[in-house]
Amino acid sequence: MRRGRPFDSTTDMRTILVTGAAGFIGYHVAMRLLERGDAVVGVDNLNTYYDPSLKRARLARLLAHPAFTFTRGDICDALPLRALVERHRPAAVIHLAAQAGVRYSLEHPDVYGSTNLVGTLNVLEACRHAEIGHLVFASSSSVYGANTTTPFDVTHRADHPLSLYAATKKAGELLAHSYAHLFRVPITALRFFTVYGPYGRPDMALFTFTRAILAGTPIPLFNAGEMSRDFTYVEDLSDAIARIVDRPAQPDPSWDATSPSPESSSAPFRVYNLGSDRPVPLLHLVALLERHLGKRAIIESLPMQPGDVPATWADLRITERELGVRPTTTIDEGVRRFVEWYRGYYQPSASAERPARTRARAKAHSGTRSETMPHAVT
């Protein structure tokens, strides 16, 4: 049986392939890798789930770096994706491309099946055939589903997802384990907890709350605001991923098949939480935004939505013990940085010109380091 190529963290410049590189987390991860001296191959289909101009703005910043190469393509297109991985032969792959959003999955389940299931399977196949030394897979805290025991520990069962999005992420973990077992591809699955920060997704709470407060429109607070989230600052997350990609998953010699622990395996497969271990009530988040924006919020109380959970809270003991990873950014500091970015990015005098400048800048950098996967679905 073939085994993955060793992941060499000592070479002067390694190539790491990042799927979803124009996305919120993908952009920050790619930038962090570039800053530390890696070469990055980014893949993204630049879909219209939210305003593509924000994706183009992130991409333009990445393309300004000489060690970044971009390919516009869809992970649902198996053969072009496999050819891309074979051509670049990256030391590792960080798989962040996904269809996100809990509520969107209620109306568009087919998109989640194609991107999060078929797309992830295609990434796994590409990594298998190219003998990739380490695959890092973005999972989600949503896999804990109906579990109400907090903090959420990776040793907890995660068999009762409450949304289609969560189900596809859990399925991705299971697919990943099977590839680690059958083909010895080292795979690390990371369960992200409510990531926020500059260049964030417009459908996330912090973004929508900020926009509503500045516009003087009501903030929808579900479950009458009686909810809390383990908010994770994106730079803490990207720092952690950059460290984790250097540590390929190994088989756990203490794993017991008669009493199997879900976070490790006899295969080179591991699962970790990436959060802050500091759950924040949504009403406190609103209060922080009011202070940093200097404006009061109008609150609209609404019932709990299908697929939502009342609270998330990451248990980071295993993550910290095994990886030495611990976040440092407080929610107050993170919200301040986000508000500072939001105001700078959406200045009324500059916002009308920004999309045109972004397109021009991306075009200027698109000569030798940007391409399109053949037959890509965009």
**Residue 376: pLDDT over 60:** no
Q: How far is CA 327 from CA 24, 85, 142, 239, 359, in A?
A: 18, 32, 20, 9, 34
Predicted TM-score (pTM) of the model is 0.91
Task: Please count the helices (runs of H) and the strands (runs of E) in the chain.
Answer: 14, 14
Pairwise CA distance, residues 90 & 250, whole Å: 19
Q: Which two tokens stand for residue 146?
A: 């109906």
Q: Is 220 helix (H, G, I), strand (E, B) or coil?
A: strand
Across 51-203, the runs of DSSP E, i.e. the strands, are: 68-72, 92-95, 135-140, 187-192, 195-196
- How high does pLDDT run on average in the chain? 90
Q: Which domains does the chain have, with CATH numbers?
A: 15-193+234-276+315-328+352-372 (3.40.50.720)
Q: What would the DSSP string read from start to end of 6-44?
A: P--S-SSS-EEEEETTTSHHHHHHHHHHHHTT-EEEEEE
Q: What is the mean pLDDT of residues 292-311?
A: 90
**Residue 111: pLDDT over 90:** yes
**Residue 226: pLDDT over 50:** yes
Number of neighbouring beta carbons within 10 Å of residue 231:
27
**Residue 365: pLDDT over 60:** no
**Residue 335: pLDDT over 60:** yes
Residues annotated catalytic, as ranges? 165
Q: Which two tokens stand for residue 276?
A: 């802050």
